[in-house]
Chain A
């Protein structure tokens, strides 16, 4: 029965790899910036995954992988003495700007507009919003970031309200109502 066990584990890890590798790479790249580093981070996460019990992670595989990536990425950044990052503080730095009405018309790419708008949020909020957009629920975001769920909730609230008030996104929100 032992070989069967290792087979199923292998299937499990490989399936996780299929599902999450590119997402995690993107995520990690956003955190560490460098693609090479990002690959390191993701590899670390999957090697760690090889040691985990599928049952333990049942239902939270995604958040687990993201959490490992995130921690690893923070490690990397710490090692590189770039402490300014997402790990702490940072609420005040990114003063969101009022958008230029002309911009609304210039850029028709919804994705670009959204990214731009998110980029103007304080970093803490950015992280939470990005994770949520990836499809994670508050609970999972809290698992990934190690922050309390209540904190995630408040961050999401702030972020979403600033986004809602961002004139850049306004037409898109309305469009969203009309789409289909």
Chain B
């Protein structure tokens, strides 16, 4: 599919290279791939009209907005890396300089032959025609032409253009855009340079990345800059100020940030690379922008933060007086957000001070995040109240002030500051035209007057904003063609934390954040009726194919693994070290008290074979219970009941101590495990996750595994815990209630404690003769490169006793995909044409499942292969079990608002799930049905 499109795109560009700048590229670009528009938007490559169009589209989809944010960041990242790598650049050679100088002083007698061969050799590049014509002209009329081109004259000309643009900019802001185009080339470097400078000038290490950015400094200087850039710089600095003033409209006082910025260079003079004199004005400008941002970024200091917004706020007040002005008008939605933010911020500050926690960097993240949400929500509400007027205004914002925004964008591009999350902090002019941000609240919340989703949103905001949970972003695996990607490889995952976490959100009447929903963890929360393994294989493999409930004609492949059950009394001896987070953040009813309750439950199950120790970590780490035999239940209970929360967290130190304790009491052939119970906040001391992970991996290699239990609302760093457990050959469970504690630590104790196979990897090869496209549902963060499947050094997931793992693939059968395709005369019209299919492709097999695992103490992996054939004709009833798994998957996709959810609805999920209720002894499935109802109600969707 991709490749065909590719050819289409490719062809015209080859045949008509004159279809060049200024041509009709914009329209063909959109028709070719309209999503390319948004990418271009994210990268600041659109002109005004197109930008309005892009923004209109962004209004419609939260996914798109997320994508645009990501792409903007990605763009920044790429440009910074490119600039960074220049420090390792190839040396420039003095010889070249000499050669060039020689050529300049002694022009070649016959310059034309030099160019002509070039043109002959490159007939396609008609780009060259005007250039070489111009060059020829330049040579023939050389002297005359160049006479007019004194350096002075040039500068004057530039100045003139700039000041003209400036004047125009003051009226409409439109031409400012042209201004910024003057030197997109050197700007990123300079911007980064300035940023760096600003950072060092402030002497603030806001995060551990200071060193990382230091390298930018070098590169920024090393890059040098083109001459015209240097010349236009002073005027540009003015331009930027002019436009920022414009943005601030009638703000009487110049924002402090600008003043600081202008004065700044002397404070933190750049490590001089070339003429600092030339660089200064630019620095001043960039610095001023960054100064303003920097302040916004420092939530710990109220005055600064409020500064960042004051212009905007005042701008709005001013709007009342000067109603007709465009820019203040445009700012309206933003201002509301800003004011709202101010209030929230004060609240947060208060609560932070009360809790007395020191989490500088995190707080700023948190607060950015919530500011984001606050803006969304607030704008949305505003529009809800006066839909038309506001909407129009927002549209005006996109349209009229396009110029202003453009200048903002242009500047961003140069300054490399176009971080979506920071837009808000930017100088008012950049904010003014921010149709993107301004419009962010529009779609979900208000355009259709969807008050329910607004509710959902505020719920989410309420929880997230009041706390600071973080979830790594998941990008769902797209459909793949077996011809291009025959193999799908991933590591198994028995974690179930996401389900519990989702449950917590829904029970508190809020929709979970989409990245908190990991579909595979939802699916794996439930037990399915897979048979017990036979022989000495540690688990059984079950496969099943049925109609895909959410996408007509698609098929669903289920691959199920079931680990061997180990009865509680046959559980091998255990050496358990609990590593408990008793920091201040754990002082909540659903945290430490729940941990204690969970441990009390576990104590009941311990036997004389087991040994338990407890290490706590907070400001200091300590061994509060030395390794104790499982029979001494009273001693253990006593120790547990003494636990109190207080102090800050140093996960690293505690972890080391826990490992040392476990190592000292190592039981050969038994279970040796550190069980980490925390809300996920490692914020003092060794916080380098890399170090933690290395330690954990090393210990896992030595036979001490790590499991993580996540507790509580608010601080949960979901991704961290999952990663740690993953590296530690353990599992990760989220415990929200005593019931869940019971499930993890009592009912599934063997599974939690006893690993029956490690490094379990699945690789599925799809038969292109059967399947046109396939998609793995979930497991996004478990994907592996195909070559790692056979590489025993590569870590993968573990499976505990009695655990089951289910993976679902959605497939588009080849027969279906070919149904509407016209037959070709000369070649096979299906996507297998031109492929060398083996004889096995004709067997009708759907796929082959390969599975590798190691014994818990083994080093060599074993391989199991299993071919799947789709025997169930389409339209046939799927098994109840399969339906239930599909229901859970669909539910996850609904919660994630997945682009692949098809026509899934809560109603459909309910009807599917209810079929799977039979034999639900544990009641977990009934609970699921309840959750779906709740989600349906909260979201207000069917």
Contact = CB atoms under 8 A, between A and B. Distances in A.
B774 to A, nearest CB: 14
A148 B297 contact: no
Q: Which secondary structure dominates where chain B touches chain A?
A: helix
B115 A51 contact: yes
Nearest to A91: B6
Q: Which secondary structure dominates where chain A touches chain B?
A: helix
Interface stretch (B217-225, B801-809, B835-843, B851-859): B217-225
B351 interface: no
B722 to A, nearest CB: 11
Interface string B648-690: 0000000000000000000000000000000000000000011
Interface in A147-178: 147-151, 153-154, 156-158, 160-161, 163-165, 167, 169-178
A4 B146 CA distance: 9
Given A53-B134, A74-B122, A111-B85, A165 B40 contact: no
A64 interface: yes
Interface string A105-137: 100101100110010000010000110111111
Contacts of B544: none
A77 to B, nearest CB: 12
Most buried by B among A26, A133, A146, A150: A150
A124 B709 CA distance: 46
B693 A105 contact: yes
B618 to A, nearest CB: 25
Interface string B6-32: 100110111011011101011011001
Interface residues of B, number: 145
B642 interface: no
A136 B78 contact: no
Contacts of A51: 107, 111, 114-115, 135, 138-139
A32 interface: no
Contacts of A91: 3, 6, 10
A165 B475 contact: yes
A48 B115 contact: yes
Contacts of B830: none
B472 A171 contact: yes
A47 B36 contact: no
Contacts of B2: 158
A15 B99 contact: no
A55 interface: yes
Nearest to B191: A135
A75 B238 CA distance: 44
Interface string B330-365: 000000000000000000000000000000010001
Contacts of B225: 19
A123 B754 CA distance: 47
Contact of A98 (B67, B484, B489, B723): B489
Contact of A146 (B17, B70, B491): B17
Contacts of B74: 160, 163-164, 169, 173, 176
A170 B475 contact: yes
A111 B81 contact: yes
Most buried by B among A2, A160, A180: A180
A29 B91 CA distance: 12
Interface of B: 2-3, 6, 9-10, 12-14, 16-17, 19-21, 23, 25-26, 28-29, 32-33, 35-36, 38-40, 42-43, 45, 67, 69-71, 73-79, 81-86, 89-93, 96-97, 99-101, 103-105, 107, 111, 114-115, 118, 121-122, 124-128, 131, 134-135, 137-139, 143, 145-147, 149-151, 154, 181-189, 195, 199, 206-207, 209, 212-213, 222-228, 230, 274, 293-294, 297, 361, 365, 368, 413, 419-422, 472-473, 475, 478, 484-485, 489, 491, 689-690, 693, 723, 726-727, 780-788, 794-795
14 contacts: A10-B104, A14-B100, A26-B86, A35-B90, A39-B96, A56-B135, A56-B138, A71-B121, A105-B693, A132-B75, A135-B83, A154-B36, A157-B39, A176-B76
Closest 4 CB pairs of A and B: A150-B29, A157-B36, A133-B82, A149-B25
